[in-house]
Chains A and B, each alone.
Chain A
């Protein structure tokens, strides 16, 4: 509605702080505004600047990020300010520029293996658990909002515009990840709301793309149709969708158990493979010695 399209090199100057940010390029566009990669000449560092027309949602997202400062998976925020562009007032805040790619982007170019999808989900579960313990529900979990950095193998959540206190109504959601759109519950924000989205997150990673919401039956068909999932994974998805987990901790523990089991299994497999190699070596040497034996006997003129 109010797209800015700031060109690279454009400088925004904060009305109150006087701080300057030189635009490098746009990195995303969403419901409430645009996100740019920018350079702060004063601090000599690259930052991300989120800018939009809505005073209240920009302020609230900034305040929320400020409050969650210290959680490593949350981007650090720096400054909140306004600026005038083409005679209109825009509101913005600057934050840590996060390296890496969001999972939706990754998904388009890469097929997640079961183990990887489970591991990603575990990382996000731990993070949501942390938010919940502060009394908040994230509400808008989806692959787009999770950024993975290959270098340090860390994930970060971005877009805190939808976060609300437990017991409030959900403000922002994406139908595929919203339990109410699936007729699986209300839009009151509780931990279970996030657990549903988290389950869908795992499903979408395994499925390779998101889906349009339907009803209970569709959920069951979806799970059954997943080729990559083991029976235990399907069980976890079912429990997650049907809200059998009371909170993220329960989901987290189940998932962790599943991952442990899976990796133990693959260790066993490796061991079995190792045994096979040993057997082969043993057999081979057996054949070799017998050949030698036969040859020796021949030489001795016994055959």
Chain B
């Protein structure tokens, strides 16, 4: 029997809901080294989390990558997950982290509602009664709107990895495309040129062709100011006017 029925709610979908215009906001940081200029990236990530934006971090392992363990601390502070992967696994990792952040967010919302109704969260419901709630979480996960900034380290050491990074972003798009909810993907690079901390490679878009085109602007050089770049993407993800789809920032 339906577990919520025992509490007088015949339909789970009537009590466990996500607001219509709610969107999961997240930053996916991709780097192959540690921050070497511009402050503490963990503090920046914690600040993003405080503002409702999850920070995930992926470290690309390579023989000359130093201090890559930093990604764990960044993700921890940013309420997200981290992975250290080989370059070939970048696409799978991006997809996995993005999806699990969506799942985590929805689970959090549903658990809060369950606690209000039943006084306990899903973990404390017997395994065989969880099924329907999980189906519902699954559906909400599929329907919720998503806004994600891929924040990619384009410092000198990344030069030989950017082609794969580009393919990986397109691969992420192909997975997100099968969701019912709206997906907006932006891509930012750091460091920026002429003293700027970061630059926009592709503004928020849900169109594969324009994403493809914009990704041609992915180039590598310079140092690694991770903290300032996280701050910039937080501003970017928060400031974006609602409904502005194909807002294309100037490409520096």
Contacts and interface: CB of A to CB of B under 8 A. Distances in A.
Contacts of B179: 169
B126 A16 contact: yes
Given A16-B127, A31-B96, A180 B134 contact: no
A32 to B, nearest CB: 10
B224 interface: no
B134 A56 contact: yes
A1 interface: yes
Contacts, number: 57
A268 B128 CA distance: 58
Nearest to B81: A1
B91 interface: yes
A80 B178 contact: no
Interface string A47-84: 00000001110011001000000000000000011100
B171 A180 contact: yes
A31 B85 CA distance: 13
A186 interface: yes
Contacts of B138: 56, 60
A55 B174 contact: no
Contact of A170 (B122, B123, B131, B175): B175
A187 B127 contact: no
B177 interface: yes
A81 B92 contact: no
A168 B178 contact: yes
B174 A187 contact: yes
Interface string B129-167: 011001001100010000000000000000000000000
A16 B100 CA distance: 26
B83 interface: yes
Contact of B88 (A59, A63, A180, A212): A212
A188 interface: yes
Contacts of A170: 175, 178
Nearest to A91: B127
A181 interface: yes
A56 B174 contact: no
A89 interface: yes
B15 to A, nearest CB: 19
A16 to B, nearest CB: 5
Contacts of B107: 56
Contacts of A60: 134, 138
A180 B123 contact: no
Determine which residue in A31, A187, A212 has the highest number of CB atoms from chain B within 10 A of its CB, and name it: A187
Contact of A81 (B123, B127, B142, B178): B127
Contacts of B47: none
A89 to B, nearest CB: 6
Interface residues of B, number: 27
Interface in A1-20: 1, 16
B178 A169 contact: yes
Determine which residue in B83, B128, B137, B177 has the highest number of CB atoms from chain A within 10 A of its CB, and name it: B128
B123 A59 contact: no
B130 A55 contact: yes
B103 interface: yes
A187 B126 contact: no
A175 interface: yes
Contacts of B177: 169, 186-187
A81 B123 CA distance: 11
A171 B88 CA distance: 18
A180 B172 CA distance: 10
A155 to B, nearest CB: 26
A1 B93 CA distance: 13
Given A56-B107, A63-B131, A181-B91, A187 B175 contact: yes
Contacts of B122: 55
Contacts of B142: 169
Nearest to B180: A169
B96 A169 contact: no
Contacts of A168: 178
Contacts of A186: 174, 177-178
A53 B65 CA distance: 29
A16 B123 CA distance: 11
A298 to B, nearest CB: 81
Interface of A: 1, 16, 31, 54-56, 59-60, 63, 80-82, 89, 91, 168-171, 173-175, 180-181, 186-188, 212
6 contacts: A31-B96, A55-B123, A59-B130, A81-B127, A175-B91, A180-B175
Given A55-B123, A187-B177, 10 more contacts: A16-B126, A55-B130, A59-B127, A168-B178, A169-B179, A170-B175, A174-B92, A175-B92, A187-B178, A188-B178
3 shortest interchain CB distances as A-B pairs:
A169-B178, A80-B127, A180-B174
